[in-house]
Structure 1
């Protein structure tokens, strides 16, 4: 008889070019996925879904702390104890490491699940016959595709019965994904935060999805193009709780596009209300370059926004058209950035190198134009990378075009095509 369920939520790292696991002395921002799943598990505990069963939750972010594999294995050998290892938020460049970890645990008969954008995006766009998904099935590693709000009870129940399914596919219909309006709130482990440079820094998702159709993007094929949002009241509750419990005062809101929230005004007003309580939260968010309601930027500043990340991608209109980014209009870039600057908000742009109309001669000219004319405060440059789950990847695969088979390199910092 099982008296105890121990759940290890692990955010795997990746391998560097020499094959070593990437791990830093201190992390920068905690994984929101870890916090979301921790919160869902705590909700199961609070509702006593499994009666008097004792449930322990342990979180690890392998980018900032060494994973105690032997200790985890010893836990699995405790009498009357069921162990479940969940490798969460796995991106494509982290998949090889996640697979290796999963195999180690499965070799010791420990139940293992893998979820995140790699498995979800692959299944969404290519199906379950892909070699990497099939390898998971062969190793009896459970695959999760999509989000598990409203489904976590079912998965844990199957685990306790010893009947985990090969796959849980919750993203079949991208138009009708799970409603997160009143979903359980994320919960960040103080133990994990000890491994981060700024314990007062946090992450949170206030919404999911993006209405646009950029061909390089995986978000829209996993979280959908229909915006889904946490209620402003619940967001305020989360920020208030974390402020009093952990002193969390700065957030990176992980929403792919905060500007397309239907409840953006109510969310800003809820955060402004916190400031009036003496809870002074500041945050960074991701937004697009399309037109916004006239008071969006003003309210963002009043709510405590100090920086925005904008997916500019290119200053070449031909590139933007080729990648389905019709919402970006180069002639409006200066005006939009000035509006953010006028509100005292720093602008950090993302820029992609390797788009269809980039050439050795054109790229330096475009970057000079970005620096001298557009003038964002910061820019981060990324190589165009065909990620499983994107339209670009699927079409390249259909055409039989070469892509580097080493998933470790699919991090936008290596040439892969």
Structure 2
């Protein structure tokens, strides 16, 4: 059996994301022949057809890894491919909620390691229909909530074996997964596996083998660690540090870090430095004490601020490189707008890399993992506004609109609560975040995950000095990626000539 899988990383960040490659790896292990078509939204329909027609076999399945793709683009591509390859089954996968009729045979939501085989058995081998439903809004598509019915928390293989036909370049940052689940359960968070007490980390040898294989085959040295919270256990950081000290090359890692853990466990700084994990994203969310406590982050903001400055100083002193990007949310419980402005001013005065979102609360009950805010918004002081001005504004900006998606809509979710509360409302919080985009974004030093993409192109100390404007406007480095995509397409199209 043969398949192609479409993958993309979105319009703004051009990187090679992992999901499609992991599914391709799993399917090859089961005897399938699979080609991944990356950056697929930058392929015309004619180019996609030209590539598929060049394959020396008939395709039986077209997969779509949909997280970073706009819905209307996916629908248009699926409609075209179905017209050209009517016998092929269409299977979508990823953690973005399914809320429209894409014309797929199956839509698998979430981590799908344990859902993949049942879906394939059903579609191709006459197996039982997997646990799922045919929603009213997509009556001919089976929706499988893998996070619920085929829980991919404990898996036997984290390692992704890339293929020579993937044409990976040495400067690319690949994704690395060390464990699944988060020990914490922040009230606003709708990640798949929260409050996990067990340790599902992979082994040290498997981690070493993956890093060595990618270095030998592709020259890869830079990685984004996808774990929800990398430093939730000392043992994970120490394992990576031990691996790094065994490697014949110097790697670099970017990841999600819970900063209050580093502050309360200062020995983690040494472990993170040993592990060459020096590009961090901190979900701080707020500097308001009551808001922080309400969402499950109890460390006092003054201690967080002091900790940020201390961590930066320690990394620069120890290994000479560091990037910490902070994520903040406007609209959290009990925090008035004046506090948002105080917080952003502190960031402007003291920190070089930060991002603001307006609070988005999902109302999706079909396939989105529910946060505590989503389950009972009223308990936390939120309700659906009846203010026509706010509702009209939200609609005009593309929120809860299946055709046009609001700019900062959470994971492209088109079912969100247009809320109001005693302290603020959806419009005001979102406009505050939009003002940040317009006035502060380009002045920021390059964010930790974006910086990882450029680690092999510049001296690291020089790279740390670049702002977003330097990279995206003055140097126009995204043009390099467009050239890379052009070369990648050329290589793919010439494979079977």
TM over 0.5: yes
Q: Among 29, 36, 51, which residue is 1:58 paired with?
A: 36
Residue 70 (structure 1) aligns with: 49
Q: Which of 332, 336, 340 lines up with 2:303 in the alignment?
A: 332
Is 1:179 aligned with 2:151? no
Hey, what does 2:111 align to over in structure 1? Answer: 147
* SS across alignment from 1:270: helix
Are the structure 2 counterparts of residues 306 and 28 from structure 1 closer, same or farther at C-alpha, using a change threshold of 3 Å? Answer: farther
Q: Deviations over 1:295-351 (max 9, x none)?
A: 2220110121221111111112233234x2324531221342213430233211112
Cα–Cα, structure 1 residues 64 and 223, in superposed 2: closer, same or farther, change >3 Å? farther
Aligned: 1:288 with 2:288: no
Aligned to 2:359: 384
Partners of 1:43 and 1:184 within 8 A in 2: no
In the TM superposition, what is the alpha-carbon distance from 1:209 to its structure 2 partner?
1.7
Partners of 1:40 and 1:399 in 2: CA distance: 44
**Runs of 5+ consecutive residues of structure 1 not aligned to the other structure:** 15-21, 46-53, 123-131
For residues 84-119 of structure 1, the C-alpha deviation after alignment (integer angstroms, 9 at most, x for no partner) is: 11212525x734433443344345533111222223
Alpha-carbon displacement from aligned partner over 1:232-267 (angstroms, at most 9, x marks no partner): 221111111101111111111111100114631442
Q: Separation in 2 of the partners of 1:112 and 1:340?
A: 47
- Cα pair distance change 1:105/1:311, threshold 3 Å: same
2:103 is the counterpart of 1:117: no
- Which of 42, 61, 65 is the equivalent residue of 1:88? 65
SS at the partner of 1:409?
Answer: coil
SS, match of residue 293 in structure 2: helix
Give CA-to-partner distance per residue, 1:113-151, whole Å, 9 cap, x none.
1222223xx7xxxxxxxxx26x35xx4530213322244
In structure 1, the residue matched to 2:121 is: 157
Do the aligned residues in 2 keep the contact of 1:145 with 1:171 (CA within 8 Å)?
yes
After superposition, the Cα gap between the structure-2 partners of 1:240 and 1:327, relative to the gap in structure 1 and judged at 3 Å, is farther
**TM-score, reference length from structure 1:** 0.75
Task: Please point out which of 11, 17, 20 is paired with 1:34.
Answer: 20
Which structure 2 residue ranges, 5 or more long, are not aligned? 131-141, 317-321, 386-390, 411-415, 419-425, 427-497
Equivalent residues, number: 367
Normalising by structure 2, we get a TM-score of 0.64
Cα pair 1:11 1:62 within 8 Å, conserved: yes
- Conserved in 1, the CA contact under 8 Å of 2:16 and 2:38? no
Work out whether residues 102 and 141 of structure 1, in 8 Å CA contact, stay in contact via their aligned partners in 2.
Answer: no
What is the CA–CA distance in structure 2 between the aligned matches of 1:214 and 1:106, rounded to whole Å? Answer: 42
Find the aligned partners of 2:193 and 2:43 in 1 and give their Cα distance.
Answer: 29
Superposed counterparts of 1:185-200, under 5 Å: 185-189=159-163, 192=166, 199-200=171-172
Query: How many Å apart are 1:73 and its aligned residue?
Result: 6.4
Contact 1:351 1:379 in 2 (8 A): yes
- Which residue, 332, 339, 344 being the options, matches 1:355? 332
| Counterpart position of 1:406 | 401
Instruction: Determine the structure 2 residue equivalent to 1:320.
Output: 292
Q: Name the one with the larger helix percent.
A: 2
Q: Pick closer, same or farther for the CA change 1:142–1:179 going to 2, 3 Å.
A: same
Deviation of 1:173 after TM superposition, in Å, equals 6.5
C-alpha distance 65-186 of structure 1, shift in aligned 2 (>3 A):
farther
Separation in 2, partners of 1:69, 1:284: 33
Query: Where does residue 209 of structure 1 map in the other structure?
Result: 181
The CA RMSD measured in Å over matched residues stands at 3.5
Written as runs of structure 1 = structure 2, the 5 A alignment for 1:224-235 is 224-226=194-196, 228-235=200-207
Q: Name 1:51's counterpart in structure 2.
A: none
